[in-house]
Amino acid sequence: MTDQDAAAADQEARAGAAPSTRGRRGPVASFARETAIILVSAIVLSWVVKTFLAQAFFIPSASMHDTLLEGDRVLVNKLVPGPFDVHRGDIVVFADPGGWLDQQAVPETNVVQDALIAVGLMPQQSEDHLIKRVIGLPGDRVAATGDGSPLTVNGVPVDESVYLAPGASPSEIAFDVVVPSGSLWVMGDNRQSSADSRWHLGDPGGGAVPVSDVVGTAFVTLWPVDRVGLLRNPGDVFDDVPDPS
């Protein structure tokens, strides 16, 4: 083999090896790439779940004692209302219909927390949402005498002792309302510390909450660890209530 032939062979060998060398990635670069893919996928998945399926919320007040306490985190099923219906006894999270939160202190958040909330990696801080229990559906007549007697729904007294806060009266405010079409009558379990539908009788809608404002139903307490558990609908409380006439 001549010197020229040897040089040509060496050049071809170098050319053949070059793509393989350029295609290799170091372990640090591969790890960074895989980590980035995992993080982006997790963020996208979390955003999809938060937007369409479920969302975590922070409980800021005592209005739902002892079912929910301040600082609890709950998970909300966003398929209700929608594919599934709202029922009497459900615990719902809803957007402020207008003026309900004027007097309620809400936790402040920073830019990082706002970003985590937006993609579903941190519970909603409830700065513009409330959580209450559904007592009346569209067309229901809900009434209270205000003297400690049970509420009536469509003329039937309901025993709410299974979820009312210890010592709480069914209502210290007398009212008698028919829930408008497309709306819900909601009340807190800690009745004497809950500015709920009763406190907004003079508002547009007479204190009822539009179903369109409902984010979903709370179905599990996620945090703190010692309070993790399902939030079940106490269906038997309203079993004897007839449909509105």
Q: Which of 50, 61, 63, 126 is catalytic?
A: 63
Residue 185 bridge partners (DSSP)? 136
Burial class for 91, CB neighbours closer than 10 Å (0-12, 13-18, 19+): buried
132 counts as catalytic: yes
Q: Cα(144)–Cα(157) distance, rounded to whole angstroms?
A: 9
Contacts of 240 (CB under 8 A, 6+ apart): 156, 158
Q: Cα(133)–Cα(231) distance, rounded to whole angstroms?
A: 11
63 counts as catalytic: yes
Q: Which of 78, 132, 171, 183 is catalytic?
A: 132
Which residues carry out catalysis? 63, 132
